[in-house]
Amino acid sequence: MGIFGRTIVALLPFAPRFVVRWVAKRYMAGENLEQALELMTKLSSEEACFTVDVLGEEINSIEESSWFIDEYERVLDSIVGSGIDANISIKPTALGLLIDQKSAYKNIERIVRKASENGIFVRLDMEDSRATQATIDATLDMQARGLENIGLVLQGRMFRTPSDISQMCETLGPKADFRICKGIYLEPREIAHTSYQGIVEGTNKALDMMLESGAYTAIASHDLPVIDHALKSLESRGLGPGKDDPRHDNPVSRAKGKGPGYEFQFLLGVRGNVRRSLAEKGHRTRIYLPYGRKWYEYGMRRLRENPDVAVHVTKSLFFPWTNRR
């Protein structure tokens, strides 16, 4: 599958831009905030809530971060004004984390504080291994500043993830808030699982650790083995639809829009049938919804980073019943 994926990626630059756009539109909410709001309004009828992501990531100068700050402030104002059940996700490198830590922290705090004032949660996305520790440190720093409406993403493929979970939970206690995913970035075998089974097992182990620790756990996977494992793990801990979180003697204060200690998350356009089935059973489900003008660059970079994604995209095009939106 790796060779097939790399072949598809190698051919994509020669494809007309409109072809790539046709493929990408299934997974993107549009090029502007207005289109994203329109789609969220439509999908709200499916009992879904949302995480809004403004497309774009690592910048070359700290000045470039200004655009992202302004755009996220527009997003926050629009969420409040529309009443849509949504929070936001930001990539720390888009705010300068790998350029100037002090400025990046200032940028992150500005967004998180505005979100806090409006009861909106902020997720720090996890990028490649260069930014892992810096992203964890940024999350802990914001919490230390009294901004508890922030959590981060950890990746099941990384060997360090169990240790990161333990350390964060030791520091934050029940205020720890994670999104666990497999991780799209291909990392060296010295620091990460590289086989499918190894990644699934690493993700399931991390998921169990998060649930056992009492942390809020956002289960972000489209892999049925992970989803099935998550459902069994939730049931074994007394977590589920219509139930209070039994892991704490006293209720834990969390940002609005949270589930009873957990939720399921899906990328826009992926496994919609599974998401709707979970929602019908009462589980809180969230759609990760990216938008922005840099859809082409975003999509191409993601495919180059992990060519196997191209296989799943191609499969969904030729066998659409395997991945209903």
Provide the residue count of the chain. Answer: 325
Q: Confirm if 134 and 166 have CB atoms less than 8 A apart.
A: no
Q: Chain-wide mean pLDDT for the chain?
A: 88
> Residue 16: its pLDDT value, please?
57
Least confident interval from 155-159, 170-174, 250-254, 291-295? 291-295
Supply 32's token pair.
């502007």
Share of the chain above pLDDT 70, in %: 82
**CA pair distance 212, 208, nearest whole angstrom:** 6
Name the pTM for this structure.
0.88
**Opening angle at CA 305, ends 301 and 309, nearest 5:** 95
Tokens for 56, please give them. 């774009």
What would the pLDDT profile of 15-37 be if each residue is shown by its tens digit? 556 556 656 667 788 899 999 99
Q: Which among 259, 258, 262 has a CA at the least distance from the CA of 230? A: 262
Q: What is the pLDDT of residue 251?
A: 84
- pLDDT at 186 (0 to 100): 83
Domain boundaries, the chain: 1-28+304-325, 31-291
CB of 286 closer than 8 Å to CB of 264 = yes
Does position 95 have pLDDT exceeding 90, yes or no?
yes
* Distance, CA of 37 to CA of 234 (rounded, Å): 32
Could you tell me how far CA 284 lies from the centroid of its own chain? Answer: 15
Collapse the DSSP code of 286 into the 3-class scheme (helix H, G, I; strand E, B; otherwise coil) and give the result.
Answer: strand
Query: CA nearest 184: which of 27, 23, 12, 25?
Result: 27
DSSP string, 96-119: TTTT-HHHHHHHHHHHHHHHHHTT
pLDDT at 265: 97
Q: Does CATH place domain 31-291 in 3.20.20.220? A: yes
- Residue 180: per-residue pLDDT: 98
Please tell me the distance from the alpha carbon of residue 170 to that of residue 223, in angstroms, as a whole number.
29
Residues 6+ apart with CB under 8 A from 320: none
79 closest CA partner among 107, 106, 114, 125:
114
Q: Which residue is listed with tokens 């774009």?
A: 56
pLDDT for 249 beyond 80: yes
What pLDDT sits at residue 12? 59
